[in-house]
């Protein structure tokens, strides 16, 4: 895999388990989208509910904590035309680890599955996918499930 993953721990204890899940899920995302031959960089920040709430308020005008935020650098489909030689920032994903743990209990999915879902969900937002209507939501969910079935 040519892609790089920058993992930032912002007020969250660093854990090898987190790093392993991140690397496995993002590598499967790259392969699924056939961009594993490109020199793509993704920044993933693991943080607290308070810090993600601040970002959610600042960038989305929603003053509540959330589970995942994505900050893409490209529009849908643009990344495929990027040269494979140049290092290219796909974007940033910010995840509230505490929220992932809460949702894993609430949905009965287990931490690793919920964390994997947040990573795939964030990745597909970086790829330009959204879930504003049923058609978009269905397309995005299919892609997420494809990746999750590989994990």
Domain count, the chain: 1
CATH classification of the domain holding 15: 3.40.390.30
**What is the pTM (predicted TM-score) of this model?**
0.93
Q: Contact at 8 Å (CB) between 11 and 51?
A: yes
Instruction: Spell out the per-residue pLDDT of the chain, length 151, in tens.
Output: 556 999 999 999 999 999 999 999 999 999 999 988 888 999 999 999 999 999 999 999 999 999 999 999 988 888 877 777 778 899 999 999 999 999 999 999 999 999 999 999 999 999 999 988 888 899 999 999 999 999 7
The SS3 of residue 9 is strand
What's the confidence (pLDDT) of residue 77? 80
Pairing relationship of beta strands 40-47 and 4-9 according to DSSP bridges: parallel
Round to whole Å and give the CA distance between 36 and 10: 27
Closest Cα partner for 35 from 145, 147, 113? 147
Q: How far apart are the first and last CA of the chain?
A: 16
Q: Give the side-chain half-sphere CA count within 13 A for 79.
A: 29
Domain span at residue 20? 4-150
């Amino acid at each position: 895999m040519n892609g790089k993953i920058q993992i930032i721990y912002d007020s969250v204890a660093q854990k090898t388990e987190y790093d392993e899940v991140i690397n496995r899920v993002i590598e499967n995302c790259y392969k699924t989208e056939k961009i594993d031959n490109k020199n793509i960089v993704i920044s993933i920040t693991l943080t607290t509910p308070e810090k993600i709430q601040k970002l959610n308020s600042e960038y989305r005008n929603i003053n509540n904590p959330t589970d995942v935020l994505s900050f893409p650098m490209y529009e849908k489909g643009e990344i495929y035309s990027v040269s494979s030689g140049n290092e290219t920032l796909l974007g940033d994903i910010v995840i509230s680890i505490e929220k992932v743990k809460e949702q894993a209990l609430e949905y009965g999915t287990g931490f690793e599955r919920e964390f994997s879902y947040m990573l795939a969900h964030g990745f597909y937002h970086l790829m330009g996918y959204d879930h504003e209507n049923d058609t978009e939501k269905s397309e995005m969910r299919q892609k997420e499930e494809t990746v999750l079935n590989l994990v």
